Amino acid sequence: MSAEAPVPVVVENVSYVYRTDVSDRQVLDDVSMQIAPGEIVILTGPSGSGKTTLITLIGALRAVQSGSVQVLGREILNAGERDRCRVRQQVGYIFQHHNLLDSLTVAQNVMMSLQLSQQKLSRKEQRQRVIEVLERVGLGEHVDKHPRALSGGQNQRAGIARALVTHPRLILADEPTASLDKESGRNVVDLIQELCREQGTSVALVTHDNRILDVADNIMHLEDGKIQTVSEAMATHSSRMLKLLNKHDPGAAQYLSAFALALTRVAMADSGIDDAERTMIRTVLNDSSKLSPGEVDLVMELALSQLRCRQQDGDGGSAVFSADQAQHFLDSLYAVAAADGEVSPEERVEIQNIARELGFPVDSGRL
Amino acid sequence: MRLAPYKIAWLQISHQKLRLLAAVLGVSFAVVLVFVQLGFQQALYDSSVRWHTALGYDLALISPKTTYIVNPPGFPRNRLYQALGFPGVESVTPVYIGIGNWRNPDDPVKVRNIYVMGFDPSAAGFRLAGDPNQVQKLRLPDRVLFDRFSRAEFGAVARQFEAGEPVSTEINDRDVTVVGLFELGTSFGIDGSIITSDLNFRRIFPDRQPSRIELGLIHLQPGADLQATREQISSTIPGDVRVLTRDEFVQHEVDYWSNSTPIGYVFGLGVAMGLAVGVIVVYQILFSDVQDHLREYATLKAMGYSNFFLSRVVLNEAVMLALIGFVPGILLSLLVYAQATEATNLPVEMTVERAVLVMVLTIVMCAGSGLLALRKLRSADPAEVF
């Protein structure tokens, strides 16, 4: 993709209201976002957060009410049926359910998309292109079967082939893994990622499946019609999850926390954790504790998250935090310490230790 | 492997065989319904003008008080002879009409009303009565010709006659002998008919005056101006008769049945009901078909297919269903027509005009229903349909 290529998707100040006879419901509230060429953006959020609405607006499947949506250089706000039709033709859309036509074979379904393309291909070339893309998604043996004869995962892959056969510059996928089991879902997402990387296609993918977030270059979290920062979204989500764990299985929560604390302490002792140590810890956790792989991941992440700031400081020598941030940080710590009336000497010492470990300038005036 | 609208349409309707069968049967049912109603309605009018079309004449003379041909009031025979004096008129035939009591020759206790027409055996206009030799037999007293398509209640006259057995019975308590058969058929007003000579007619109906006739047939010379002659006659002779051309005479009878009797109204209503039920059946079929595929059509729209393309797919489906459903429909209708003709002796016949009319109607009904069903998708954003 050349540098001059226009940004495939530019959304500016878009709001959207569902109007019914009895009430209006605002599903998008002044949303702005962009998708860069070749970028894979995942839109997450709880159901009702407006993510599907946003992607259908980008795909011109829904009329824009206010704000501006430019897709592949075309403004969709107030666009006529003909222009919206043109946009739909240029965008590859992967649906939640495969939405293949039951009466057509898999190859015919893919053909339905290809014959809309502006590219002039002979019949032979068309057929070849259809076979190629179906082989690419692993359906080479099923080209002339009907969708009903295939599994959900196979149909979803046929849906991907249909979206990709025209080599679009933008793929929109609305919960493509929603109706699939874990493994097929993973395969489908990997396939989307792989094919789009090959063709330099931009992707917007809506999901609430956390297991597939790692394919994203950029994650946008929608909450009540507004886009949140990733950290905000993750923090809310993680703390909610930890609270839930604590509430429903306090024993496990305690056990995992203890592990995390212990690991942190050991690793902090020599102010760093290298790959050898990391592998060793993981092996030990895997072999000797009765933790499941997911729980091992959590313990590691909890421990490492506490280490990260120190490690960076130790590696580069340059301060991670600005003076202002450091000052604000210390003020907060003192505020906490002072919450029970006055700052005790033990608390004062602990704050000093933390400040030293994080490389903050120690505020002698407060000592 | 280009997938044009007609190809997609065919794949869509042929994909599920049972559904296709149900749809085709539904359309066929609607087709039969309309055909049967139209057939019966036409049979009513065709049968009521059997005499009007079978008789040979250019102009007909009737009493102005005549409502229909079964029981017309009489008028002076002189009026017909007056018409003979006009230029262009070649000959005239006075016709006597009456209703007699026919005793069933097989079961003499049973007596039924029979339609009796009397005329001069030497006159033209009675080609329907068979070959001239047969007509000449009517010159003997108390001889009649019997309509072989008369209802069975009059007795197995035709079968006995053809088997060579003499058939004699009583009309109005007077012995008569059947000396021949002719072919006309029944109508809503006439169950059976006989033809005889004017003299025999007066023997059967002794109180009738020869100077009063019920129908006058006028034959014009070849090349004579029909309308001019008609104008001349009707403006000159007194107003106690009406002069009608063949078409007018036929129309006069049809008007009576359609406007002055409940029968015409009932069958008109039948046709309307048949059409209405047909439209509803076809609409239901097409609507549910489109409804079931709405998601798929919305998907096509989401991929960038235009409303025009989708309309063409649905229109193609509609026309295909109409044509496929029409074939068994018309075959079934022919079967029903044959049955009805057999059972009633009424002329329930398929005509090319009617077949074309019903086919066009079916296609229009199907196409209209399909487009109506697609209206929802045309106006909606695809995202609202998923």
Please give the single-letter amino acid code of residue A21. D
Mutate to test the interface with B, among A104, A105, A144 (most CBs of B within 10 A): A104
Using DSSP's 3-state secondary structure scheme, residue B75 falls into strand
Q: Please tell me the predicted confidence (pLDDT) of residue A321.
A: 66
Which strands sit side by side in the sheet containing A170-174, from one edge to the other?
A: A91-94, A170-174, A202-206, A40-44, A218-223, A226-228
Diameter of chain B measured on Cα atoms: 90
List chain B residues with CB under 8 Å of A99: 295-296, 299, 386
CA distance B305 to chain A (A): 7
Residues of A with a Cβ under 8 Å from any B Cβ are 56, 59, 61-63, 81-82, 85-90, 93, 95-96, 99, 101-104, 107-108, 111-113, 115-116, 123, 126-127, 162
Taking the C-alpha atoms of residue A177 and residue A97, their distance in angstroms, rounded to an integer, is: 9
- On whether any CB of chain A is under 8 Å from the CB of B163, the answer is no
The bridge status of strand A40-44 relative to strand A218-223 is: parallel
Mutate to test the interface with B, among A53, A101, A143 (most CBs of B within 10 A): A101
List chain B residues with CB under 8 Å of A123: 1-2
Is there a contact between B2 and A115 if contact means CB atoms under 8 Å apart?
Answer: yes
Q: What is the CA radius of gyration of chain A?
A: 26
Is there a contact between B11 and A127 if contact means CB atoms under 8 Å apart?
Answer: no
B124-142 pLDDT tens trace:
666 666 677 788 888 899 9
B156-196 pLDDT tens trace:
888 888 888 888 899 998 999 999 888 888 887 888 999 99
Q: Please tell me the predicted confidence (pLDDT) of residue A186.
A: 86
Q: CA of A121: which chain B residue's CA is closest?
A: B2
Residue B49 has pLDDT above 90, yes or no: no
List chain B residues with CB under 8 Å of A89: 303-304
Phi/psi for A43 (5° steps) reads -100, 120
Q: Write out the two tokens for A341.
A: 């009336």
Residue from B240, B217, B195 nearest B98 by CA: B195
Is there a contact between A61 and B382 if contact means CB atoms under 8 Å apart?
Answer: yes
Selecting from B15, B303, B381 the residue whose C-beta is nearest the C-beta of A62 gives: B381
Half-sphere exposure of A29 (CA within 13 A, CB side): 12
What mean pLDDT, rounded, does chain B reach? Answer: 87
Diameter of chain A measured on Cα atoms: 84
Q: Which of A331-345, A353-367, B326-340 has the lowest mean pLDDT?
A: A353-367
Q: Are B166 and B177 in contact (CB under 8 A)?
A: yes
Q: CA of B306: which chain A residue's CA is closest?
A: A85
Taking the C-alpha atoms of residue B61 and residue B233, their distance in angstroms, rounded to an integer, is: 10
Is there a contact between A93 and B302 if contact means CB atoms under 8 Å apart?
Answer: yes
Neighbours of B142 (CB within 10 A): 18
Is there a contact between A89 and B299 if contact means CB atoms under 8 Å apart?
Answer: no
Neighbours of A8 (CB within 10 A): 27
Q: Please tell me the predicted confidence (pLDDT) of residue B178.
A: 92
Q: Please tell me the predicted confidence (pLDDT) of residue A2.
A: 43
Please give the single-letter amino acid code of residue A171. I
Is there a contact between B296 and A113 if contact means CB atoms under 8 Å apart?
Answer: no
Is there a contact between A116 and B307 if contact means CB atoms under 8 Å apart?
Answer: no
Selecting from A81, A88, A127 the residue whose C-beta is nearest the C-beta of B302 gives: A88
Q: For the complex shown, is ipTM > 0.90?
A: no
Half-sphere exposure of B209 (CA within 13 A, CB side): 8
Q: CA of B11: which chain A residue's CA is closest?
A: A103
Q: Please tell me the predicted confidence (pLDDT) of residue B194.
A: 92
- Tell me the mean pLDDT in the region B213-222: 90
Q: Are B176 and B170 in contact (CB under 8 A)?
A: yes
List chain B residues with CB under 8 Å of A113: 303
Selecting from A88, A112, A127 the residue whose C-beta is nearest the C-beta of B3 gives: A112
What mean pLDDT, rounded, does chain A reach? Answer: 81
Is there a contact between B302 and A59 if contact means CB atoms under 8 Å apart?
Answer: yes
Which strands sit side by side in the sheet containing A24-35, from one edge to the other?
A: A24-35, A9-19, A66-71, A74-75
- On whether any CB of chain A is under 8 Å from the CB of B6, the answer is no
Phi/psi for B352 (5° steps) reads -60, -40
Is there a contact between B384 and A62 if contact means CB atoms under 8 Å apart?
Answer: yes
Residue B251 has pLDDT above 50, yes or no: yes
Q: Please tell me the predicted confidence (pLDDT) of residue A317.
A: 45
**Residues written for chain A:** 367
Q: Hey, which residues 301-340 in chain B have their CB within 8 Å of chain A?
A: 301-307
CA distance A67 to chain B (A): 18
Q: Please tell me the predicted confidence (pLDDT) of residue A288.
A: 67
Is there a contact between A108 and B11 if contact means CB atoms under 8 Å apart?
Answer: yes
Taking the C-alpha atoms of residue A273 and residue A271, their distance in angstroms, rounded to an integer, is: 7
Q: Please tell me the predicted confidence (pLDDT) of residue A3.
A: 45
Is there a contact between A99 and B2 if contact means CB atoms under 8 Å apart?
Answer: no
Selecting from B295, B304, B305 the residue whose C-beta is nearest the C-beta of A99 gives: B295
List chain A residues with CB under 8 Å of B302: 59, 61, 88, 93, 95
DSSP A211: G
Mutate to test the interface with B, among A85, A108, A126, A171 (most CBs of B within 10 A): A85
Selecting from A56, A101, A108 the residue whose C-beta is nearest the C-beta of B383 gives: A56
Selecting from A63, A86, A112 the residue whose C-beta is nearest the C-beta of B303 gives: A112
Is there a contact between B303 and A111 if contact means CB atoms under 8 Å apart?
Answer: no
Residue A312 has pLDDT above 60, yes or no: no
Q: CA of B295: which chain A residue's CA is closest?
A: A99
Residue B232 has pLDDT above 50, yes or no: yes
Q: Are B263 and B44 in contact (CB under 8 A)?
A: yes
Residue pairs spanning A and B at CB distance below 8 A: 74
List chain A residues with CB under 8 Å of B14: 103
Mutate to test the interface with A, among B12, B299, B316, B379 (most CBs of A within 10 A): B299
Taking the C-alpha atoms of residue B33 and residue B273, their distance in angstroms, rounded to an integer, is: 9
Q: CA of A87: which chain B residue's CA is closest?
A: B304
Contacts 24+ apart (CB under 8 A), A141-149: A142/A106, A143/A105, A143/A106, A143/A107, A144/A105, A144/A106, A144/A107, A145/A105, A145/A106, A146/A102, A146/A103, A146/A104, A146/A105, A146/A106, A147/A98, A147/A100, A147/A101, A147/A102, A147/A106, A147/A109, A148/A102
Q: Hey, which residues 277-296 in chain B have their CB within 8 Å of chain A?
A: 295-296
- Tell me the mean pLDDT in the region B363-385: 80
- Tell me the mean pLDDT in the region B208-232: 90
Q: Please tell me the predicted confidence (pLDDT) of residue B130.
A: 66
List chain B residues with CB under 8 Å of A85: 304-306
Most confident among A149-158, B274-283, B339-348 (mean pLDDT): A149-158
Q: Please tell me the predicted confidence (pLDDT) of residue B176.
A: 92
- Tell me the mean pLDDT in the region A8-23: 88
Q: CA of A107: which chain B residue's CA is closest?
A: B1
Neighbours of A226 (CB within 10 A): 14
Residues 6+ apart with CB under 8 A from A87: A59, A60, A71, A72, A74, A76, A79, B304
Q: Which of A229-243, B22-36, B59-73 has the lowest mean pLDDT?
A: A229-243
Taking the C-alpha atoms of residue B304 and residue A162, their distance in angstroms, rounded to an integer, is: 13
Residues 6+ apart with CB under 8 A from B65: B73
Provide the H-helix boundaries in A6-115.
Answer: 51-58, 81-90, 106-114
A47-92 pLDDT tens trace:
888 888 999 999 998 889 988 999 988 898 888 888 888 899 999 9
Residue A355 has pLDDT above 90, yes or no: no
Q: How confident is the model at residue A109 (pLDDT cuts 50, 70, 90)?
A: very high
Is there a contact between A116 and B305 if contact means CB atoms under 8 Å apart?
Answer: yes
Q: What is the CA radius of gyration of chain B?
A: 29
Q: Hey, which residues 27-66 in chain B have their CB within 8 Å of chain A?
A: none
DSSP string, A148-209: GGS-HHHHHHHHHHHHHTT--SEEEEESTTTTS-HHHHHHHHHHHHHHHHHHT-EEEEE---
